[in-house]
């Protein structure tokens, strides 16, 4: 089936009908934000977030008692998310099939928050075409001790290298330590091709500049370098979605950023869930972020 490739329009702010219980429960003890504030954040940024988050299998980081208590990564439905969170059966390696979750609107986001969700992570393919990836993400993980300046310079280098082989890319601040370089792709190729391309691209960079970049997981080899984590790009892997909150101190959020703006950014977490209004305001300058028609070149 053909997937409509055009950029979804942000929908106007919709009234959310899902009710949130325990609104006063503190979810971020260091900075004091509550479950109610987290739900309101997602309702407010839903029009910005849904073009990236809707109609896509998601995994959730749930911390029902707040970020300082037990958190867990949830991929499958537990039967309790309600009418606004949908299921998509996905074939498993063993031949069986499992129901994954996806959402389509602000109610879906808030229904997940009601269930204790802080973070939303997404597959790199859509729920209606899971076998055809539509974005490639290079997750840049700087080793401790490296400056954010090193990380943003690395992101700009990836952008240039991608551009040299004809690919447009976009930058996202993870809300944690690093930058994600996002390459939108017209669906068509399979996961094998996708993963293979990502691996070879990351390895080419680390081979060219072994003092700066590393493309293998091994912690020992990462000392003082930036790990180009290409492993997001395999079937079943996820990456944190644009505008997702993070279960980290201060309630930071992952945010799209323009390449120009990245140059003057001091760290990967300049915004928090308190900043919905500012995020909405700056979003007009980011129109088109993460969307373009392009296919993987020969590499």
- Chain positions contacting ligand ATP, by CB under 6 A: 73, 121, 139, 141, 174, 176-178, 229, 232, 238-240, 268
| Residues 223-242 contacting Mn ion, CB under 5 A | 229
DSSP state of 102: E
Q: Which of 107, 134, 141, 275 binds Mn ion (CB under 5 A)?
A: 141
Nearer to Mn ion by C-beta: 81 or 230? 230
Packing angle of the helix pair 191-208, 148-164 (nearest 10 deg): 120
Name the nearest CA neighbour of 139 among 210, 208, 206, 238.
Answer: 238
Q: Give me the least distance between CB of 95 and ligand ATP, in Å please.
A: 22
Cα 79–83–86 angle (5° rounding)? 70
Do residues 166 and 294 touch, judged by C-beta distance below 8 A? Answer: yes
Whole-number Å distance between alpha carbons of 176 and 174: 5
Q: Residue 157 binds what, of ligand ATP, Mn ion, none (CB under 5 to 8 Å, by partner type)?
A: none
Per-position x/- string for 169-208, each x denoting binding to Mn ion as judged by CB under 5 A, each - no binding:
---------x------------------------------
Q: Is 152 strand, coil or helix?
A: helix
User: What string marks each residue from 5 to 44 as x (binds Mn ion by CB under 5 A) or -?
Assistant: ----------------------------------------
Question: What does 121 bind: Mn ion, ligand ATP, none (CB cut-off 5 to 8 Å by kind)?
Answer: ligand ATP
- Answer yes or no: are the C-beta atoms of 234 and 147 closer than 8 Å: no
Segment holding 123, helix H or strand E: none
Distance CA 250, CA 268 (A): 13
Tokens of 249: 């101190």
**Distance between CA atoms of residues 149 and 262, nearest Å:** 10
Please tell me the distance from the alpha carbon of residue 6 to that of residue 202, in angstroms, as a whole number.
28
CB of 239 to ligand ATP, least distance (A): 5
What's the half-sphere exposure (Cβ side, CA atoms, 13 Å) at 187?
17
Query: Cα Rg for the chain, rounded, in angstroms?
Result: 19
Q: Which stretch binds Mn ion (CB under 5 A): 123-131, 139-147, 191-199, 284-292?
A: 139-147
Residue 139 binding Mn ion, by CB under 5 A? yes
* Binding partner selected for residue 73 from ligand ATP, Mn ion, none, CB under the kind-specific 5 to 8 Å limit: ligand ATP
What residue is closest to ligand ATP based on CB?
A: 176
The option from ligand ATP, Mn ion, none interacting with 240 (CB < 5 to 8 A, set by class) reads: ligand ATP
Is the Cβ of residue 16 or residue 120 nearer to ligand ATP in the bound state? 120
Residue 107 interaction partner, one of Mn ion, ligand ATP, none, beta carbon < 5-8 Å per kind: none
C-beta closer to ligand ATP: residue 152 or 177 = 177
């Amino acid at each position: 089936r053909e997937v409509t490739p055009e950029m979804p329009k942000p929908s106007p702010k919709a009234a959310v009908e899902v009710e949130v219980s325990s609104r006063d429960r503190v979810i971020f003890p260091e900075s004091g934000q509550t479950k109610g504030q987290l739900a309101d954040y997602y309702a407010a940024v839903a029009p910005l977030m849904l073009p990236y988050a809707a109609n896509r299998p998601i995994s959730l980081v749930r911390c029902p008692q707040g970020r300082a208590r037990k958190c867990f990564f949830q991929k499958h439905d537990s039967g309790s998310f309600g009418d606004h969170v949908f299921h998509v059966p996905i074939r498993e390696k063993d031949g069986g099939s499992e129901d994954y979750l996806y959402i389509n609107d602000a109610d879906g986001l808030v229904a997940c928050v009601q269930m204790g969700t802080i973070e939303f992570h997404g597959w790199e393919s859509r729920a209606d075409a899971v076998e055809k990836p539509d974005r490639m993400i290079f997750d840049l993980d700087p080793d401790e001790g490296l400056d954010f300046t090193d990380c943003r310079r690395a992101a700009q280098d990836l952008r240039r290298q991608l551009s040299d082989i004809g690919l447009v890319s976009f930058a996202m601040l993870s809300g944690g330590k690093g930058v994600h370089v996002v390459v939108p792709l017209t669906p068509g190729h399979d996961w094998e091709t996708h993963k293979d391309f990502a691996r070879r691209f990351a390895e080419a960079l680390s081979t060219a500049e072994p003092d700066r970049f590393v493309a293998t997981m091994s912690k020992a080899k990462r000392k003082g370098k930036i790990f180009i984590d290409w492993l997001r790009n395999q079937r079943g892997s996820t990456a944190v979605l644009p505008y997702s909150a993070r279960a980290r101190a201060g309630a930071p959020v992952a945010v799209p950023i323009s390449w120009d703006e990245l140059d003057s950014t001091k760290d990967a977490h300049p915004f928090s869930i308190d900043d919905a209004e500012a995020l909405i305001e700056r979003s007009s300058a980011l129109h088109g972020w993460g969307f373009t028609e392009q296919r993987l070149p020969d590499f």
